[in-house]
Amino acid sequence: MEQAKIRLYVDQPLAAGQAVAVGEGQANYLFNVMRLTPGAPVALFNGQDGEWLARVEQAGKRAGILRAEVQVAPLRLPPDLWLLFAPVKKARTDFIVEKAVELGVARILPVLTRRTQGERTRADKMRAHAIEAAEQCGANIVPEVIEAQPLDRLLAAWPADRRILWADEGLVGTAAAFAGLPPGPWAILIGPEGGFTEEERGRLTKVPQVTPVSLGPRILRAETAAVAAITLWQAHLGDWK
């Protein structure tokens, strides 16, 4: 089977013979930057129909048409894991989103805390970054990115059956607790740089779904804690086990 070098997320249905229109941004990338011509293969995914081999049918400056030929991979869903994190500086927030996609989470929820900078939480930018990460890492879904919400509001409406794994930087010790976690729907919670306030910590310890865990004896930055916590969760409860 011919292997497409370019993978593209589209928000249109994919099926054999289906025409897929590409707009200005993608047309520029495919036909100007990558110089694809009619007949060239492109891999497409839409988060629903798995991965498809498509070919360029019309290549224009501002638009084009691809035609899906055959499914080359079934839909691969990540485990039922959400990532809650307090956005940090731009480059590190991008990094957290990118790594969450690569490591496999189903939903990304930015959380506003007392020490979070509000202007760093544009969900549309995070969505675009999540799509780019999925295109590059071979995932054929894109995690849902929710609008940022204050921690309090999020906890007040938290689903009863979803546990929260709180990477608590106040707990400096061992990561042994991961081995004892029960299966089921989970969310990982990563605090802001500087940590949660005492009030927030008090609030978190009162939520029955919350389990605090330690990520070893060193203080980790937010993005490191996110990758380490998702990795350990995946190895113990997710699809790496």
The footprint of a copy of itself (CB under 8 A) covers 76, 95, 99, 102-104, 136-139, 174-176, 178, 214-221, 224, 227-228, 231-232, 234-235, 238-241
d(CA 158, CA 145): 17
Nearer to a copy of itself, 78 or 110 (CB): 78
Phi, psi of 24 (to 5 degrees): -60, -45
Q: How far is the CB of 106 from a copy of itself (least distance, A)?
A: 13
Comparing CB distances to a copy of itself, the nearer of 77 and 156 is: 77
Beta bridge partners of residue 59, listed in sequence order: 64
Among 148, 155, 149, 159, which Cα is nearest to 204's?
155
Q: Which is nearer to a copy of itself, 65 or 228 (CB)?
A: 228
Q: How far is the CB of 122 from a copy of itself (least distance, A)?
A: 22
d(CA 157, CA 103): 27
Classified as helix, coil or strand, 78 is coil
Helix (H) or strand (E) holding 125: helix 123-137
Q: How far is the CB of 169 from a copy of itself (least distance, A)?
A: 11
DSSP type of residue 227: H
Residue 107 Cβ, how far from a copy of itself at the closest point, in Å? 17
The HSE-up count of residue 27 (CA atoms within 13 Å, CB side) is 14
Q: Based on CB atoms, which residue is closest to a copy of itself, 153 or 241?
A: 241
CB 112 to a copy of itself: min, Å = 24
Minimum CB distance to a copy of itself smaller for 46 or for 234: 234
